[in-house]
Structure 1
Amino acid sequence: MNKTIIVLFFLCCATSVIAQVPKVSVSGTMGISYEGYGLDRNPAGWTGYTPRRPWNQVRFNFMPNFQFGKNFSLPFNINLAALPTNFAGPYSGFIPGGPKQNFKQWMTNPVNNIAVNPKYKWAELQLGTQYLRYSELSTGDIGVFGAGFDLKPGQYRIKFFTGTSQPGINYFAGPPLPGITGAFKRNNWMFQIGKEKEDKYEVAFNFAKGKDLISSSAPPPLTIKPQEGFVISMITNVHFNKGWYVKLEGAQSVFTTDLNTASSLLIKSFEPFIKAHTATIRDYAATGSLGKKGKNFDIGISSKYFGAGFQTVGYPYLQPDRLDYTINTKLNTWKNKMNIVASLGQRVNNISNTTLKANQFIGNLNWFTQFNDKWSLNVNYNNFGFQTASGLNPYGIKNVSNDLGISPTYTWSNTKMMHLLSLSYNYSKYDERDVLTGLTTSNNTHTALLTYVPSFFTKDVTPDFSLMYFYNDVPMAKTTLATLSSGLSMPVAKKKVQLRGQLQYNLTKLNSFKSDNNLIASCSVDWKITKQFSWNTYLSTNYFKYGNSVIPAGANYLESTCRTGFQYKFDTKKNK
């Protein structure tokens, strides 16, 4: 099917393009970079701190856009890693003497990104890794490697894409531990058909499916079950005069949590798209919003409903079994010196269970005020989380966070320089209930950050200074962190080279243990060799010495990172 799509698209394009000889232009970027990582741990044999990156990696990027006349473009997005995969992948050398990836596995490896999107007028072909969002309830949160198209003839919209979102990974228990969990290969397809008039209306139907291939991993994962899901949705968006709008979407999902279970005639299938098993669940979801947008004032209401069994492979982390409704507003006032963005509402969790049903306040606020040329203030608040009513073992779940931030900024200047002084304070309260004991624990965090940045009018040197205090209080653990940081940037070599250095010292204390000491130093050198060609280098070192909070006391590590690479920008139009 993929080959047929490609051939048909290029035949259509060739028929129209061959009739004329278009002007060809090429623009974009290309480059190569190296990343080196080092870790020295003391005493010898201590494994309390594990490596966080591959020891060596070389990356290539090539992102040209070929423009043939006014109607045909051929953009590429290619990012490749020379070494097989990321640090703990199935073909990373994690398993001594393990398998090597073949060409297809290399192409679909998440560490690589290869995409080509040729476009002729209203027709676009999508090849390689694509992150496509069709709607809020169908698909839009995963990357898929495959092929598809996006057609917009007149007011009609036709989209289709098929490919693989997850390669198969064999289970491996180790050693070394913790081994590899493994995963099933997941094939996806998505389709949309509809009609749209920009800034007027949109009506479309969405279809999306994902299915795990049971035979794709051997041995298979022990803790993961092969799944299959299908969702169909309809979206309707209408924009009226004077800024009024209505947006609606309704969806139904059919999801099988374990394909190893037997087929079932008791659960209604959605053939030919998906056949029901004993582990299949059908449910619904809907979203809607109504409001008015203006130049300085927006107001609207929105609601979201997700059934307890609603699940889609396009949004694997979506939280079901809830109802949200909010009032949203945006206000610009006081001669645009004050900007307020806010939402207020309520979430009802576990709406399918009257015993565990619980209400949760939803709030979000960002309030910025520019009092005068010197003073400004930003206040923000948000809360998020999940909560169910408390029952008897297992008790209800409660994961709710409330964050409040206040950030005043003061600037002043004289004939030689300008000063910026900023203070930021944030308070975060996170409550979590243990489902087995019913006990609720609170995680309280206070963070204060003071920043001073002087800017010289007659000098190219730009320093900055910051001081941070962090305090975290959870049951059985109290952590205090003090950070002092200073940086300096300046151009040299007739401003062709930009230098930047940063030095940071951290002092951390946990309960009554001796303090931990941490020193971080970094340096970046950005050399603009020509207008199109640049060489960028970044070096950092991180020395951390524990007090007596870990065994053995006084353990330490030195972590080093080196990144350097060349980048070239090209544009044949500018070179003519």
Structure 2
Amino acid sequence: MKTLIKKFAIASLVVVGMLAAHLAVDAQDLENIAQQKPVTFSGSASARMLFYSAKGIQDRRKPFSYVLSGSPTLTLYGVTIPFYFVYSEQERSFRQPFNQFGLSPRYKWITLHAGYRNITYSPYTLAGHTILGAGVELTPGILRIGFMYGRLNRATAVDTTSGTYDPFQYTRRGYAAKIGVGKGNNFIDFSMMKAKDDSTSVHYSEKVTSRVSPAENVVFGVSGAFSYKGVFVEGDAGFSYYTINLGSHIKIDSIPDILKNTLGNFIHINGSTEFYSAYNFAVGYRRNDLTIKVQYKRVDPDFKSMGSYFFNNDLENITIAPSFSVLKRKLHFAGSLGLQRDNLQNQKESTSKRVIGSANLSANITDNLGVDFTYTNFSTKQQPGRVFVADTLLITQTTGTIGITPRYIIPKENVTHTFLLSWNRMTLQDLNASPRMNNDLSSVNMFFNYQIMLVPKNLTLYINLNSAHLTMARNETGNKGITLGGSKNLKDNKLSVGLSVAILQSFSGGQKNLLLNDGLQCSYRPGKRHTFSTNINYIGNFPHERSKESTRFSEFRGEVSYAVNF
């Protein structure tokens, strides 16, 4: 602990030294130079040093780590060249430092991409997956053209000593393209994504120890939107062909020759090739303070695309969502009601059906008093499918949530008082016939917050009272506590200091714990561009009675950072 505090003190001195150096050169005016030349350099960068120490439990992170990151942008004669980088010594299991660099220079309607980029063409083709590669986007007039090529995944080897990364992944490369017309809320885009695993990127001995096979995927998508005089239509669709095992020797003969010959130009087809589809579309009307929208969505079971990380699949739902404001916008309502089901291809032993409903009502009663109401109701019911399912295995349940949050603000010239109260109750009712499967539960969460802001003194103080109680069939857990804190601005608002102290009493199964969570934050902004900050946090857990389920421990976290905007 002493060594950690010593390192933390040294790092703080380093920040002070950087601050002194900044103050020595702050008199230099660089803005005029930027205005005289057609060259600008803007963006931000930061350096963070993190410290950690624990007693009574195993360390959750390294005693010391650092992170360097930035997003500078260079503009040369109208050409915008944004950069992005992250560098850290934090090691992954395959001993690779985490570092990413990328840029997307732009000139008028031409944008180039290079390095690590996150591009989205549609929700079902290329949808934000990180690619290390290069690409281009062209938007002359109403045309919308894009192309991207690069590496989506890098091969990871199996750790033969611990087996940590089993199964491994192959190096995966691919490309995506988009072409469309339109602007704003009136457009139509066609896109595709093609990716393939490199079977030679992993050693043969590692292939034998894993069940992961090299795969290939091609996805075609269409997205569009149209609006006219308040009426709007929007939608997306994706069609994915996925070969799970490129090495499979099983042939497929049920696909038509014309389709097989066409797809054969994009993907290797064999007995492991599967087809998925996903689509959603909506139609609605929007006028002044009234909006009503009807949406339909369907995603096939196991739908996947190598251009996206995750999909909620095997679902079909239809929803209607109205929203409106009345009484000069003092009363606003937004809600939705719909039906959802799974087991779209009758592959499961039962089908789950859900009623999805939610409502939010916000009322500004006076200029000072307001209240928000929230209500949700989700019911699930399973029905047997082709295979007989015992009643005790079926699920029929209803989940409901209701919340009320009144607020009251007293603004004055020198002081402002804010009162906020929140009450939230959630219930899950198990409607199964058998009493042996009683999974009913309910939770009640409440908190009250009072904040006073003393404007002339730049001082803010607050107190928070909170309580949470969860009741289950055979157990009760919960906590209640108080948090005190405040912040003050000094040196013409350049220096900000904040302190918070939280005391929490928790209980579970007869075991009670006292939790402490204390924090100290300090930041200094000598100018608009530079920020120096320090953050210290202490967490302590003190059980009333020591047991295997509860251990006495303490944690210390510290951070020293410097950020610059240029």
Partner of 1:76: 83
Structural mapping, 1:390-401, within 5 Å: 392=389, 395=393
- The farther-off stretch of 483-492 and 412-421 is 412-421
Distance 1:430 1:166, change over 3 A: farther
In the aligned structure 1, how far is the partner of 2:538 from the partner of 2:290? 49
SS of structure 2 residue aligned to 1:389: strand
Matched, 1:531 2:538: no
Distance 1:215 1:432, change over 3 A: farther
Q: How far is the alpha carbon of 1:28 from its aligned partner?
A: 1.4
In the aligned structure 2, how far is the partner of 1:145 from the partner of 1:385? 43
Distance 1:389 1:212, change over 3 A: farther
In the aligned structure 1, how far is the partner of 2:546 from the partner of 2:220? 53
Distance 1:56 1:351, change over 3 A: same
The match for 1:299 among 288, 292, 299 is 292
Matched, 1:348 2:341: yes
Partner of 1:568: 564
Task: Tell me the alpha carbon deviations over residues 261-309 of structure 1, each in whole angstroms, 9 at most, x when there is no partner.
Answer: 4342235453222223333221322211111222211112110112235
Partner of 2:8: none
The match for 2:134 among 147, 153, 166 is 147
Q: How far is the alpha carbon of 1:548 from its aligned partner?
A: 4.5
Q: How far is the alpha carbon of 1:505 from its aligned partner?
A: 1.1
Partner of 1:454: 452
Q: Which runs of 5+ in 1 are unaligned?
A: 1-20, 42-48, 92-100, 571-576
Partner of 2:157: 170
Partner of 1:311: 304
In the aligned structure 1, how far is the partner of 2:397 from the partner of 2:187? 37
Amino acid at match of 2:44: T
Structural mapping, 1:316-331, within 5 Å: 316-331=309-324
Distance 1:214 1:516, change over 3 A: farther
Distance 1:519 1:84, change over 3 A: closer
Contact 2:216–2:268 (CA<8 Å) still a contact in 1? no
Partner of 1:245: 232
In the aligned structure 2, how far is the partner of 1:312 from the partner of 1:526? 44
Contact 1:267–1:276 (CA<8 Å) still a contact in 2? no
In the aligned structure 1, how far is the partner of 2:268 from the partner of 2:330? 58
Q: How far is the alpha carbon of 1:378 from its aligned partner?
A: 1.3
Q: How far is the alpha carbon of 1:523 from its aligned partner?
A: 0.6
SS of structure 1 residue aligned to 2:556: strand
Q: How far is the alpha carbon of 1:446 from its aligned partner?
A: 1.6
In the aligned structure 1, how far is the partner of 2:44 from the partner of 2:188? 38
Distance 1:54 1:208, change over 3 A: farther
Partner of 1:479: 477
Q: How far is the alpha carbon of 1:558 from its aligned partner?
A: 1.3
Amino acid at match of 1:208: M
Partner of 1:133: 120
Deviation >6 Å, runs of 4+: 384-387, 397-400, 431-434
Amino acid at match of 2:278: A
Distance 1:534 1:22, change over 3 A: closer
Distance 1:215 1:546, change over 3 A: farther
Distance 1:518 1:492, change over 3 A: same
- The farther-off stretch of 396-405 and 422-431 is 396-405
Structural mapping, 1:450-529, within 5 Å: 450-513=448-511, 515-529=512-526
Quick one: percent identity of the two aligned structures? 18
In the aligned structure 2, how far is the partner of 1:460 from the partner of 1:132? 43
Amino acid at match of 1:428: M
Q: How far is the alpha carbon of 1:58 from its aligned partner?
A: 1.4
Matched, 1:193 2:178: yes
Matched, 1:556 2:552: yes
The match for 2:222 among 212, 230, 234 is 234
Matched, 1:380 2:389: no
In the aligned structure 2, how far is the partner of 1:139 from the partner of 1:440? 44
Amino acid at match of 1:465: I
The match for 1:287 among 275, 280, 288 is 280
Partner of 1:339: 332
Partner of 2:9: none
In the aligned structure 1, how far is the partner of 2:563 from the partner of 2:383? 55
Q: Which runs of 5+ in 2 are unaligned?
A: 1-35
Partner of 1:277: 270
TM-score by length of 1: 0.81
Amino acid at match of 1:85: E
In the aligned structure 1, how far is the partner of 2:306 from the partner of 2:382? 25
Q: How far is the alpha carbon of 1:38 from its aligned partner?
A: 1.4
In the aligned structure 1, how far is the partner of 2:380 from the partner of 2:150? 33
Contact 1:425–1:447 (CA<8 Å) still a contact in 2? yes
Distance 1:58 1:309, change over 3 A: closer
Matched, 1:85 2:119: no
Q: How far is the alpha carbon of 1:407 from its aligned partner?
A: 1.0
TM-score by length of 2: 0.83
In the aligned structure 2, how far is the partner of 1:337 from the partner of 1:248? 33
In the aligned structure 2, how far is the partner of 1:490 from the partner of 1:200? 45
In the aligned structure 1, how far is the partner of 2:94 from the partner of 2:185? 49
Contact 1:263–1:275 (CA<8 Å) still a contact in 2? no
Partner of 1:38: 53
Contact 1:184–1:216 (CA<8 Å) still a contact in 2? no
Q: How far is the alpha carbon of 1:452 from its aligned partner?
A: 0.8
Contact 1:184–1:214 (CA<8 Å) still a contact in 2? no
- The farther-off stretch of 21-30 and 536-545 is 21-30
Report how many residues are paired. Answer: 515
Contact 1:117–1:127 (CA<8 Å) still a contact in 2? yes
In the aligned structure 1, how far is the partner of 2:473 from the partner of 2:128? 36
Contact 1:281–1:309 (CA<8 Å) still a contact in 2? no
- The farther-off stretch of 289-298 and 405-414 is 405-414
Distance 1:217 1:398, change over 3 A: farther
In the aligned structure 1, how far is the partner of 2:242 from the partner of 2:112? 30
The match for 2:63 among 37, 55, 64 is 55
Amino acid at match of 1:566: Y
Q: How far is the alpha carbon of 1:508 from its aligned partner?
A: 0.9
Task: Tell me the alpha carbon deviations over residues 476-520 of structure 1, each in whole angstroms, 9 at most, x when there is no partner.
Answer: 43211112111110012343210011111111111122x111111
In the aligned structure 1, how far is the partner of 2:547 from the partner of 2:248? 47
Structural mapping, 1:362-373, within 5 Å: 362-373=356-367
In the aligned structure 1, how far is the partner of 2:553 from the partner of 2:297? 49
